[in-house]
Amino acid sequence: GQQLNQSPQSMFIQEGEDVSMNCTSSSIFNTWLWYKQDPGEGPVLLIALYKAGELTSNGRLTAQFGITRKDSFLNISASIPSDVGIYFCAGQLGSSNTGKLIFGQGTTLQVKP
């Protein structure tokens, strides 16, 4: 089936550092979403992107919808311990008009105080 390649798989950084992760696909996506999941909980929506080239911020988080519509990245600036968790990208295929989302495999972020 369709896949999103998310990288890196995991990151271990020092508090205060900036973080960058990205997702790529061979398919065109209409929408890119970024989620954060804490252990034992459901994913929480961080940022939604709807147009190619769109750059959107949510506090210390910034995400961009790639020009080719086949990729997206998420940046976290000045990381803090509560940023720890698993970050997922998700996309809706260009040919789809339903709520079906394709998810990346996740980036596990650990922050050292």
Q: Cα separation of 15 and 99, whole Å?
A: 36
Distance in Å, CB of 11 to another protein, minimum: 18
Distance in Å, CB of 92 to another protein, minimum: 5
CA distances from 91 to 9, 16, 52, 82 (A): 18, 29, 13, 25
Task: Pick out residues in 20-79 that bind another protein (CB under 8 A).
Answer: 30-31, 33, 35, 40-45, 48, 50
- CB-CB neighbours of 69 under 10 Å: 19
Residues that bind another protein (rule: CB under 8 A) add up to a total of: 26
Which residue reads 């910034």 in tokens?
62
Task: Please give the helix or strand (H or E) that residue 23 lies within, else none.
Answer: strand 19-24
Distance in Å, CB of 103 to another protein, minimum: 4
Phi, psi for 31 (deg, rounded to 5): -140, 140
Distance in Å, CB of 24 to another protein, minimum: 16
Q: Residues for the chain: how many in total?
A: 113
Q: How is residue 53 annotated by DSSP?
A: T
Binder among 14, 82, 95, 98 for another protein (CB under 8 A) = 98
Binder among 53, 81, 100, 112 for another protein (CB under 8 A) = 100
Site residues, another protein (CB under 8 A): 1, 30-31, 33, 35, 40-45, 48, 50, 88, 90, 92, 96, 98-106
